[in-house]
Amino acid sequence: MIPVRVALIVFFAALSVVACDDNEKQAGYVWNLPAGFPLPSVPADNPMSAEKVLLGRRLFYDQRLSANQTQSCASCHKQELAFSDGLPQSKGSTGEMTPRGSMALVNVAYNGTQTWANPALVSLEQQIPIPIFGERPIELGATGHEAEILARYTADPLYPQQFAAAFAEDPTPLSFANVTKSIAAFMRTLISGNSPFDRYTYQNDKSAMTPSALRGLDLFFTEKLECFHCHGGFNFSSSTTQMDAAFNERAFHNNGLYNIGGGGAYPPGNRGLFEFTGVREDMGKFRAPTLRNIALTAPYMHDGTLATLDDVVNFYSAGGRVIETGPLAGDGRANPFKSRFVPGFTLTPDERADLMAFLNSLTDLSFVQNPSFAKP
């Protein structure tokens, strides 16, 4: 019988049939992708270029993008935390809290949808204006301050030349449309693929994973745990796309985090896909984020209510969460809209240790230490 991990490697290889080597180009741009990774999908109206990525990197870290000049994109997406922020909910430039946590910007180039639950946001170019211009809640707070912010860039000794180089065919290169395109281009380069798991699976380094982590990998891909149904594929997510994909996965899942009053309800304003569709069965459905670098991105769940990976394993082992008292009381295990892939399971202490070892093997230290992603 073929070991599960061997079959898994074959499965991943089949998924990545359009993977490129370090010298392959996409419309003239050299990606330098990790071994086994497919080319990302890029919008036709925002082709990649080195000049655009360089500009986007600088903008990503520039606090002048916020109206009061106190925050940048990087304020809620810190490289050492795999571009998350370590908070249950992120805080905007005026101190207002958002209802959800900042998602880690790991391999966002491959996301089928962006954010936690909006099915309409299928590209970074659609998502990025929301934290810049959104007013409910305010994050960077640029609305009404557009001319002021662009004037800051115009007065900068480098930005006018950088915008002109990145958008040479645009008669007015220094614009918010190009701010968005530049940041999107930079974010597409935030690709993580050098974890111990990757070195074992794609780089033929059979010493990269410990025996415990390999046993945990086997557990992860069993029907006993069901993890792989929502966190499968090369990016460990069921919401994945790539260049020339035959189809795009854009799944959302209810995992039994809440069941207010026993009828399946989630907290108002934080009800997942239901907020956009109004379909009763979509209550509490959220996008399953990638598990890559998951050990660095606590706290967990869309609202940060699970503090540690141990808490997450306990949660899925129980098949959902029970809240005994208060306005959110309910038995999430019995949520009528809960995914059938969250049935609960039992682990021995050794199996639990193996699963944790596997999850930790998805940490890519070269990603969080890459100087090309750091503040310029």
Judged against a pLDDT cut of 70, whether residue 4 lies above it is answered with no
Residue 326 lies in a domain: no
Task: For 171-218, write each residue's pLDDT tens digit.
Answer: 999 999 999 999 999 999 999 999 999 999 999 999 999 999 999 999
User: What's the structural domain count of the chain?
Assistant: 1
Residue 253 lies in a domain: no
Residue 78 lies in a domain: yes
Judged against a pLDDT cut of 50, whether residue 100 lies above it is answered with yes
Whole-number Å distance between alpha carbons of 62 and 281: 41
For residue 35, what are the CA distances in angstroms to 39, 197, 245?
11, 12, 18
Q: Give the pLDDT mean for 349-357.
A: 98
Question: C-alpha angle 170/173/178, rounded to 5°?
Answer: 105
> What is the residue-averaged pLDDT of the chain?
93
Angle 146-155/159-166 helices, nearest 10 degrees? 100
Domain of residue 127: give its range: 40-191
Predicted confidence band at 246 (pLDDT cuts at 50, 70, 90)? confident
Task: For 337-349, write each residue's pLDDT tens digit.
Answer: 999 999 999 999 9
Predicted confidence band at 359 (pLDDT cuts at 50, 70, 90)? very high
Q: What is the pLDDT of residue 28?
A: 83
Nearest one of 140, 128, 121, 137 to 276, comparing CA atoms: 121
Question: C-alpha angle 33/243/45, rounded to 5°?
Answer: 105
Bridge partners for 285 per DSSP: 272
Residue 93 lies in a domain: yes
Q: What is the pLDDT of residue 35?
A: 92
Residue 222 lies in a domain: no
Judged against a pLDDT cut of 60, whether residue 15 lies above it is answered with no
Task: For 35-91, write each residue's pLDDT tens digit.
Answer: 989 999 999 999 999 999 999 999 999 999 999 999 999 999 999 999 999 999 999
With beta carbons less than 8 A apart as the criterion, state whether 257 and 305 touch.
Answer: yes
Judged against a pLDDT cut of 70, whether residue 19 lies above it is answered with no
Burial class of 193 by CB neighbour count within 10 A (0 to 12, 13 to 18, 19+): buried
Residue 180 lies in a domain: yes
Q: Give the pLDDT mean for 134-146.
A: 96
Q: What is the CATH number of the domain that holds 106?
A: 1.10.760.10
Judged against a pLDDT cut of 70, whether residue 8 lies above it is answered with no
Residue 284 lies in a domain: no
Q: What is the pLDDT of residue 20?
A: 47
Side chain identity, residue 20: C
Q: Show the 3-state SS of the chain.
A: CCCHHHHHHHHHHHHCCCECCCCCEECCEECCCCCCCECCCCCCCCCCCHHHHHHHHHHHCCHHHCCCCCCCHHHCCEHHHCCECCCCCCECCCCCECCCCCCCCCCHHHECCCCCCCCCCCCHHHHCHHHHHCECCECCCCCCCHHHHHHHHHHCCCHHHHHHHHCCCCCCCCCHHHHHHHHHHHHHCCCCCCCHHHHHHCCCCCCCCCHHHHHHHHHHCCCCCCHHHCCCCCCCCCCECCCCCCCCCCCCECCCCCCECCCCECCCCCCECHHHHCCHHHCCEECCCCCCCHHHCCCECCCCCECCHHHHHHHHHHCCCEECCCCCCEEHHHCCCCCCCCCCCCCCHHHHHHHHHHHHCCCCHHHHCCHHHCCC
Q: Which long-range contacts (CB under 8 A, 24 or more apart) does 42-47 make?
A: 42/188, 42/243, 43/123, 43/125, 46/125, 46/181, 46/184, 46/185
pTM of the model: 0.94
Residue 101 lies in a domain: yes
The residue written with tokens 């600088």 in the block is 58
